[in-house]
A and B are shown apart, each in its own frame.
Chain A
Amino acid sequence: MAAPEAPPRADALAAFVLRAQVEDFLYHEAQLLDSWQLMEWAALFTEDAEYAVPSTDLAEDADPRTNLFLVHDDRFRIEQRAKRLLKKTAHAEFPPSRTRHLVSNVRIEADDGNALQLACATVVYRAKRGIVDVYPGHAKYELLRDGGTAGFRIRRKRAILDIDALRPQGKLSIIL
């Protein structure tokens, strides 16, 4: 069996740079969420975007149109989610919890020149009233290179929880 052919240096460098750009974008998204700049977060999404979190007993590629998810937002509801969470009447998040979104193991799975499909591992910590909840998971994104101030826009984000029930966290009042 022949060893895999080493890619030409220029391609390797381009892949390296692209991954760094994508990682920077994901870190930017994480920072917006952790600093509760939620309207700015919502603005990262395209007009036809989807943000979804499957129920914990579903396959990660399950169809939210025919299966009960925990979250299935279109663009309107993404913005409404952000808007709601900034209100004092979003009681589960008043006063806002402290969160930290960690992103790792970033891999670009496909790139057609316009849209990127990527996968990453995620851990979100949420602290409130003396309790720290941990949300281990991974995420799948479709990013568009349509510029925007952050370089990319999100057309699809699926946050998949790597737990078999939402316990003991009990709620997804934050954005993953």
Chain B
Amino acid sequence: MASIRHQPSAHQVRGLVDEDRSRNRFRVHRSTLTDPDILALERERIFDRCWLYLGHESELAGPGAFISRSINHRPLIFVRDATGRIRCFYNVCPHRGSLVCREPKGVSKSFQCAYHGWTFSNGGKLIGQPGKDAYPEGFNADGEYDLPEVPRLESCHGFVFVNFDAAAESLDDYLADAKPYLELIALQSAIGMEIVGGTQEYSARANWKLLLENSADGYHAPTAHASYFDYLADRDGAAFKDKKFSYNKAFGQVLNLGNGHAVSESQGAIPWGRPVARWVPGWGEEARAGIAEIRRELEERLGPEKAEMVAERDYNLLIFPNLAVLNIMAVTVRTFYPVTPDYFEVRAWAMAPKGEAEAVKDRRLRNFLEFLGPGGFATPDDVEMLELCQQGYACQNGAAWNDLSKGMFREADYAAKQDELQMRTFWRRWRDMMGAEQRMSFREAV
């Protein structure tokens, strides 16, 4: 490291997450959300150790399909090679370091660096070098001038993750109890799910961890999203009024899924419609039969109990450190990376069953956009809340701690969706990885 910075000690970092079980108090110091030294340590200890969501298998239709995508600000090529295998390469020429692939996506047998013309197959092999006779015999015999490959790539139910740590445990172990929630999405379709065209790429002037906290925060919905619920009431009238946020188990719960992952879930208790498969009056009578048909297919394929879960269970799944999969009024996959302590970038997609009828997809996407995304009736207000928090953190000399203790006294028995167990689950994992005596693999920190 050439830059001069102060690396906080393990002891200092652990002290930033103040968990007092005797008083059921859980606080996080606001410097974790503003300090550049903390961010530098996060890059090293979290983003270079954890499994990070790269994309979905459906985004690469056939051999040669590629997408240029940055993960933790490293430009990568997400590609299906000539044999159909999904690979991920650093998008950098081994020769002099230029970005090799300059198109956002496409289909290609090869990638040619525009600087000196080195050419690589879609499997990363160096296959062309102008002036090759000026290099010695056996140059690249060991492949060191091939496109460098990201050390680990694994997938789960079509969700593809990478890990920059060659020694990382398997994705399967890493995802722990989060896996069944990825499966519930895959089960929405008999022939598989796919990412719909169109990416919502946006940002917020706030710390990246605030979006993780916000993505499954049941406590904020009635106030931060009051105007969205007004809209639903205008649209669905009396049918909406039966549904109320409540604190009992019938309404839902938050579960710690292990390894820092958590889910906030409920079944059949929320007022919005679900394309798979819960009808609401605002969709009109003609949509009702179509929804019933989707429900019937689920029941035939999965049996009544599983079908009920697929159709009715709303959940916000948080996968440590920076993936939120929301299976709510639509299915969205959202990942986000810090640029600076007070600015992060978001990419969000919609998922749908492959081959979904156009009318159903239309309804799904309209439903998505009524709440989600930077032009929706809710997400802009979330971004605003995060930015208001970030501005408030300038007052650390007078107000230094965030409180996340809601529901802590009962968390061993039950955590309501409006409690803060999901945030505590994240921060406990964050503390363990960031505050270890020395840098360790994720496995060692468990």
Q: Are B358 and A66 closer than 8 Å at their CB atoms?
A: yes
Bound form: Cα–Cα A166–B376 in Å: 14
Chain B residue with Cβ nearest A176: B375
Q: What are the interface flags for B357-374 relative to A under an 8 Å C-beta threshold, 1 for contact and 0 otherwise?
A: 010011001101110011
Q: Are A90 and B201 closer than 8 Å at their CB atoms?
A: no
Measured between beta carbons, the chain B residues less than 8 angstroms from A76 are: 235
Question: Which of B197, B234, B235, B391 has the most chain A CB within a 10 Å cutoff?
Answer: B197
Q: Are A171 and B380 closer than 8 Å at their CB atoms?
A: yes
Does B445 reach chain A (CB closer than 8 Å)?
A: no
Chain B residue with Cβ nearest A64: B365
Q: Are B203 and A167 closer than 8 Å at their CB atoms?
A: yes
Interface residues of A in 46-64 (CB under 8 A from B): 53-58, 62, 64
Chain B residue with Cβ nearest A76: B235
Bound form: Cα–Cα A64–B197 in Å: 10
Q: Are A170 and B370 closer than 8 Å at their CB atoms?
A: no
Binds B, one of A14-22, A77-85, A98-106, A143-151: A77-85
Chain A residue with Cβ nearest B349: A68
Bound form: Cα–Cα A8–B174 in Å: 75
Query: Is the contact region of chain A dominated by helix, strand, or loop, or is it mixed?
Result: loop
CB distance from A76 to the nearest CB of B (A): 7
Q: Could you say which of A77, A166, A172 contacts B201, with CB atoms under 8 Å apart?
A: A166
Bound form: Cα–Cα A81–B369 in Å: 12
Bound form: Cα–Cα A169–B374 in Å: 10
Does B199 reach chain A (CB closer than 8 Å)?
A: yes
Given A53-B375, A80-B234, A89-B227, A165-B201 contact (CB < 8 Å): yes
Question: Which of A129, A169, A172 has the most chain B CB within a 10 Å cutoff?
Answer: A172
Give the size of the chain B interface in residues (CB under 8 angstroms).
43
Given A68-B350, A170-B204, A170-B383, A80-B374 contact (CB < 8 Å): no
Measured between beta carbons, the chain A residues less than 8 angstroms from B377 are: 80-81, 84
Does B130 reach chain A (CB closer than 8 Å)?
A: no
Does B136 reach chain A (CB closer than 8 Å)?
A: no
Query: Is the contact region of chain B dominated by helix, strand, or loop, or is it mixed?
Result: helix
CB distance from A172 to the nearest CB of B (A): 4
Given A69-B365, A92-B381, A56-B201 contact (CB < 8 Å): yes
Measured between beta carbons, the chain A residues less than 8 angstroms from B343 are: 168
Does B283 reach chain A (CB closer than 8 Å)?
A: no
Chain A residue with Cβ nearest B282: A76
Q: Are A167 and B202 closer than 8 Å at their CB atoms?
A: yes
Given A65-B358, A71-B369, A91-B201 contact (CB < 8 Å): no
Q: Are A65 and B365 closer than 8 Å at their CB atoms?
A: yes
CB distance from B4 to the nearest CB of A (A): 28
Chain A residue with Cβ nearest B369: A72
Given A71-B375, A91-B381, A54-B227 contact (CB < 8 Å): no
Chain B residue with Cβ nearest A167: B203
Question: Which of B362, B380, B383 has the most chain A CB within a 10 Å cutoff?
Answer: B380
Interface residues of B in 193-247 (CB under 8 A from A): 196-205, 224, 226-228, 230-231, 234-235
Bound form: Cα–Cα A23–B397 in Å: 53
Q: Could you say which of B196, B198, B345 contacts A54, with CB atoms under 8 Å apart?
A: B198
Does B122 reach chain A (CB closer than 8 Å)?
A: no
Measured between beta carbons, the chain B residues less than 8 angstroms from A170 are: 202-205, 374, 383, 387
7 intermolecular pairs with C-beta atoms under 8 Å apart? A55-B201, A64-B365, A65-B365, A66-B361, A69-B198, A166-B200, A171-B202
Contacts from A to B (Cβ < 8 Å): 53-58, 62, 64-72, 74, 76-77, 80-81, 84, 87, 89-92, 129, 131, 164-173
With A81-B377, A90-B381 given, name 16 new contacts (CB 8 A): A54-B198, A58-B198, A66-B361, A68-B198, A71-B369, A80-B234, A80-B235, A84-B231, A92-B381, A92-B383, A166-B374, A167-B203, A168-B203, A169-B202, A169-B203, A171-B379
